[in-house]
A and B are shown apart, each in its own frame.
Chain A
Amino acid sequence: MASSRDDFIIAIRSAFLKKSTQQKFSLLTLVSISIIIIVLSNFNFKAVKYLKIGISEIVYRSSFIVSIPENFIKNSFETIIDYTTFYEKYKNNELELESLKSNYVSNEITQYENKELKELINDYVSSSDKILAKIIVDHDSPFLKSIIINKGSKDEIKIGTNIYDQSYLVGRVIEVNYKTSRVLLLSDLNSNVPVTIAPQNIQAIVTGSGEKHGQIKYFQSGISEEIKDESIVYTSGTGAIFKSGVPIGKLQSFADESLNRYKVKFYSDFSQLKYVFAEIVTKTEIIQVDTNTDNNDINPLDAKLKILEDELSIIEESNKKFLAENENLKNQINDLNYKVLNLNNEISSQNQTINQFNLDTAELEFLRLNLNHGHKCRKSFLNNKGFEIGSAEYKNCVLNKGKIDD
């Protein structure tokens, strides 16, 4: 028994201390260094932190290059699948686009309103600037769900920076290097996001499940009946870790509904991400323009006088305007009267012309009848019954076409 224990000790000692010809360090040394590094990184020791940043800068780039062949094969495979389902996707997209177009306008209005209201309630305006970042490492690890982006502290990325795929939340930055950052995805087990479930307006927390979906946790007991499938989940902004109102996904109940557990189907497919947007938030304080501060030194009587003076000047100004308007109206009336007079003159002249025309027409008719029947009415040797030319009887006779009344 004692000899077997001795053998074990000898074997262990040999394993730890014995160096082969090619080995530069014994295993004991390296294990000790590893343990020291682990302990120091647990206490956030600065040297380890800088060592990690240094290694990260090299490793992330190297990892990106090394992953090129594998990514190429993976992407080719996905492209082939995309082509096979191309038409079906196109039709679905077309329908979705139509629906989105109609929603877009109202959303834009809401955004403006929201911005205005936020400006009213906050003492600062947060203006955000989204920068495009490329994903350089995306190893779908079974343990931790994270991605590496090619933006770091150089591009003003900070720990906690929100990361988006279009307008959907993807995760937040948990580690920042000079030119690279690590983003913890919403699907990671360590991710917790305060959310609002709409339209029920229920507050909850979405945690990652380590898979493609999230889980709803910590919502108030007794309200689980109100939660329905397809409810929209968006960030509530509680805790100020995530911006409020950012869509995350849709709610789906698990197959076993008795458990009252709900999963969140993320809008964004994290395995398909190639580029993301990092939101750089800058807070600008609003300068409060307090009009009262300028008038603090003026006594109340002067202030009243000033108000009255202002009122007077306003009244004078309006009086001037009324007078000018009055003058203008008078001129307009004169113009109109002149126009009426001219029109009356024109009418009388036209009446005269009409009358003259009527007289001329009657005279012409008489002359025509006179030519035809004048001999019947004229007094002559052979016609004793006739009348003197120019007399009224003669005229009547001619107009009666030569008929002489007895």
Chain B
Amino acid sequence: MTSLKHKGSLLKFYVWLPILVLYISVLNEFDLNYLNLKYFSFNFPFILIFFFTLKDFKYFDYFLVFIAGLFNDTVIGLPLGISSLSFLLICISTAYIRNITIRPNPLKDWFYFLFVISLINSLNYSLLTLFFSYNLILMSYLVNTFFTFLFYIIFVSLFKYYLKGLND
């Protein structure tokens, strides 16, 4: 990784990689839906945003997260601003937990993540059904929350490798 520091453009690409992955994931709707498992889906942007904002990764700009939310709404077909709000609520919750935590614990973070995404998905569901009269399947949201929670631990281990590579 020492060699990376000498290669400016490559390093730039490496540090901006999380944001790039976030944009790719919102544009591509990466959720393995084509596996055709009933209700199966997970929200990769939630995991990504939660992890990197929790780590206070300085290249993970809130404004870019906000824009990614607008893109996500456009791709999915939701009213503009819903995903932005969801993403920013994750940012707020991670900023809060960062402020109150002295000794970080991965397990606590994991369950805190479950609490946050449950809250956000509930808010999403309520907003869409009450204010925008959308017909939605509640089960899809529950399953999505559950699998996002499960996949968190897998992706976190990958992201840790990424951060380790950057620190080295």
Contacts and interface: CB of A to CB of B under 8 A. Distances in A.
B92 A67 contact: no
Interface residues on A, range: 35 or more
B154 to A, nearest CB: 19
Interface in A165-179: 174-175
B81 to A, nearest CB: 3
Contact of A55 (B59, B74, B78, B89): B74
B66 interface: yes
Contacts of B100: 7-8, 11
A22 interface: yes
Interface stretch (A138-146, A197-205, A232-240, A362-370): A138-146
A23 interface: yes
A38 B61 contact: no
B75 interface: yes
A22 B63 contact: no
Given A66-B27, A66-B28, A141 B33 contact: yes
Interface string B84-115: 11001101110110111000000000000000
A35 B74 contact: no
A97 interface: no
Contact of B61 (A23, A42, A140): A23
B124 to A, nearest CB: 9
Nearest to A63: B27
A59 B27 contact: yes
Nearest to A189: B135
B70 to A, nearest CB: 6
A142 B33 contact: yes
Nearest to A141: B76
Interface in A13-29: 14-16, 18, 20-27
A41 to B, nearest CB: 5
Interface string B1-36: 000000000000000000000001001111101100
Interface string B124-147: 000100011011110011011000
B81 A74 contact: no
A15 B140 contact: no
Contacts of A142: 31, 33, 39-41, 137, 140, 143-144
Given A51-B80, A190-B135, A62 B63 contact: no
27 contacts: A14-B96, A15-B92, A15-B96, A16-B92, A21-B58, A22-B58, A23-B63, A24-B63, A25-B62, A25-B66, A27-B62, A37-B70, A37-B80, A42-B131, A42-B132, A48-B80, A55-B70, A56-B74, A67-B28, A137-B75, A139-B28, A141-B31, A141-B33, A142-B40, A144-B76, A182-B77, A190-B135
Which 10 pairs between the two chains have the least Cβ-Cβ distance?
A: A37-B81, A15-B95, A139-B29, A189-B135, A38-B81, A34-B85, A11-B99, A142-B41, A66-B27, A15-B96
